[in-house]
Amino acid sequence: MAEGPMSVGGQAILEGVMMRSPHSLAIAVRRPNGEIVVKEDRWVSIWDKAKWLRKPFLRGAVVLFESMHNGMKALTFSADEAAKFLDEQEAAQAPALAQADSSLHADGPAKNDAVAKVEAVAPTAKAAAGGMSQLAIVGTIAVSIAFGFALFAALPHFLTWAAGHLLGSEALLSGKDLGFQVVDGIIKIAVLVGYMALISRMPDIQRVFQYHGAEHKSIYCHEKGLPLTVANARTFTTLHPRCGTSFLLITVVTSIVLFSVIFPLLPEISDKKWLNQLAYVFVKLPLMFPVAGIAYEMTRLSARFPSNPIVRAFTWPGLQLQYITTKEPDDSQLEIALVALQMTLRRELAIAAGQPLPEGDQNAVVFPSYAAFVDGAAVPVAPVALAA
Mind listing the pLDDT tens digit for each residue in 347-369?
898 888 888 777 766 678 889 99
Residue 70 falls within a domain, yes or no?
A: yes
Confidence of residue 3 (pLDDT cuts 50, 70, 90): very low
Strands of 36-42's sheet in order across: 9-13, 16-21, 24-30, 36-42, 365-367
CB 265, CB 259: distance < 8 Å:
no
Decide if pLDDT at 209 tops 60: yes
Question: Does residue 115 belong to any structural domain of this protein?
Answer: yes
Q: Is residue 162 part of a domain?
A: yes
Query: Has residue 169 been placed in a domain?
Result: yes
Over range 212-241, report the average pLDDT.
94
Q: Over 70: is that where the pLDDT of 60 sits?
A: yes
| 274 confidence band (pLDDT: 50, 70, 90) | confident
Helix (H) or strand (E) holding 245: helix 244-262
What is the pLDDT of the chain when averaged over all its residues?
80
Task: Check whether 123 has a pLDDT greater than 60.
Answer: no
Q: What span, in angstroms and rounded, lies between the C-alpha atoms of 27 and 40?
A: 6
Lowest mean pLDDT among 12-16, 36-40, 105-109, 254-258: 105-109
**Cβ atoms 57, 293 nearer than 8 A:** yes
pLDDT at residue number 94: 56
pLDDT higher than threshold 80 for residue 228:
yes
Mean pLDDT, residues 337-348: 93
Tell whether 385 is covered by a domain. no
Residue type present at position 128: A
Q: What percent of the chain has pLDDT over 90?
A: 28
For 258-272, write each residue's pLDDT tens digit.
Answer: 998 998 888 888 888
Q: How many domains does the chain have?
A: 1
pTM: 0.80
The parent domain of residue 329 ranges over 9-376
Task: Specify if 381 maps to a domain.
Answer: no
pLDDT of residue 87: 64
Q: Would you say residue 311 has pLDDT above 50? A: yes
In this structure, is residue 2 part of a structural domain?
no
The angle subtended at Cα 238 by Cα 58 and Cα 328, nearest 5°, is 140
Q: What is the pLDDT of residue 249?
A: 85
| Full DSSP string of 301-339 | HHHH-TT-HHHHHHHHHHHHHHHHH-----HHHHHHHHH
Rounded mean pLDDT, 113-124:
38
Residue 383 lies in a domain: no
